[in-house]
Amino acid sequence: MKKTGKMVLCVIILIVLLAILLLVSRLNQEGDAEDGTEEESIEVTSGEEDHVTALSFQINGTEVSFTKTDDTWVYDQDPEFPLDQTDMETIVGKVISLSAEQELEDDSLELSDYGLDAPTNVVTFTDDTGTTKISIGNENTTTGIWYLYLNDDTAKIYLVDQSFDTMFPDDIMSFADGETLPSITADNITDIQVENGEDSYQIAADSESTTNWTVTDASGFSHEGDGDQIGTLTSTLASLSYGGMVEYNCADMAQYGLADPAATVRVHYTEEQTVDTSDDDTEEEASDSDTDDTDASSSSSSGADSEEETTVTVEKDLVLLVGSQNEEGNYYVTMEGSGEVHTITGDTIDSILDTSAADYWSLYVSPVTVTDIKSMDVTYNGQTNTIVRNTEETTDEDGDTTQTITYTWNGEEVDKTEASTLYSSAVTMTAQSKDFAYEKTGEDELVLVMHTDDGDYTVSFSPYDSSFYYVVDLEGVPSLVNKNNVNSLIDAYLTVIGEK
């Protein structure tokens, strides 16, 4: 019995000791974590950006250098180059504040192990403390760490977490502060001209068109435009942007196909500007604000005291010349009158040039609306019936006007819903496609004559094949209409006259 009690006591003591051991171990781990959670980074370079007066690095193995004079950076190899000052400030800020994750220091280090026997780039900067040279080797693709050494101290290699492959440009033109295309709002575009040989076309805003647009081809033929298709085009034009600058002062445009452009895109648009009207030169001031301005109209709003502001609508033009394509398929472009050559992606330019006027035609067969039609003659199976749309207005004693619409056939009133369905089907009929190459292959099966205050409009439908009817729209363009849509129109007509 005594032996058993001693054993139990020993077990309890052992458990307590293990618990104490675990607690001490845990406390030690937490203490270690608090004392050394992160190693401090190692300073490689340091300096004040404002004190740096010179910088050089390599682009594709060729050294380029820059000098700062009167707070302005200049490209030494071409002092007239339009150097982007922000780009220079960014790169200087990075170069003078490098830090390392680790430092290797050993006289026996093999530079070739780190790509430092033939550096991928050599960077120098000069400030009020002197000139510092940074030799950059390879990147450890697993860790993203780059190897470098300073000046001629090859016995000390720094491991730096910095994206040197993207810090420096692949082309000096990436550092050019050149022109940008004007900021255009798609809704403010009022005229588009694409000069592209036989596929040239013009799209103009037209308040008299039911779609608000008119499209004119190279021969001068005009047709109502499709709002959705034209909306896609105006959005494309409004979002145009350069891909990159090729030359900033080109003396030989022919090498880019721009001396005799393959195409010219002209965009006329309006822009709202707010100008100070404290003097009498409001419109002149607005017109002078951009070399492309052609006209201005204004609406004013008063300001405090003698100062007033006026919102001016300014007419502007963008003229873009399109040249040849480079190896990547991008187009060389320039704005008319500019010496700069830029690129724009091939897909963007092709979406503008690989179209013709017909691609922007409205697919509606009839350009009239239901409210335009006073009556409509329908000829089907050799029988003609006229469905009349009657509008009556009455004014009550309060002066409020009420409009009542009824439909009649053979002098008798017919169901308003059924008749309005017929009218709507007639004016909303759209073609699957339109092409002057289509030819009529059969006799007319359905003929609609729409009587309006502006005249009579006739639309005739004849079978074309098993899927389509042939019809000539009211602007004279042969069109193919889905057979199911025509059958729905016929059914609506037969319903009105009580034959279905």
Q: Which of these, 365, 364, 360, 348, lies nearest to 229 by C-alpha position?
A: 360
Strands, E, within 151-276: which ranges? 156-160, 189-195, 201-205, 213-217, 222-224, 244-247, 263-276
pLDDT of 302 reads 46
Record the pTM.
0.78
pLDDT of 397 reads 80
Average pLDDT for the chain: 89
pLDDT of 34 reads 39
- Which structure tokens are listed for 242? 């350069």
Give the residue ranges of the chain where pLDDT is below 70: 1-39, 278-307
Helix (H, G, I), strand (E, B) or coil at 53: coil
pLDDT of 31 reads 40
CA angle 122-123-127, nearest 5°?
150
**How many angstroms separate the CA atoms of 45 and 41, rounded?**
12
pLDDT of 224 reads 94
CA angle 203-205-211, nearest 5°?
95
pLDDT of 176 reads 95
| pLDDT tens-place string over residues 53-92 | 999 999 999 999 999 999 999 999 999 999 999 999 999 9
Q: Are 397 and 421 in contact (CB under 8 A)?
A: no
Helix (H, G, I), strand (E, B) or coil at 125: strand
From the centroid of its chain, how far is CA 5? 87
pLDDT of 45 reads 95
pLDDT of 245 reads 95
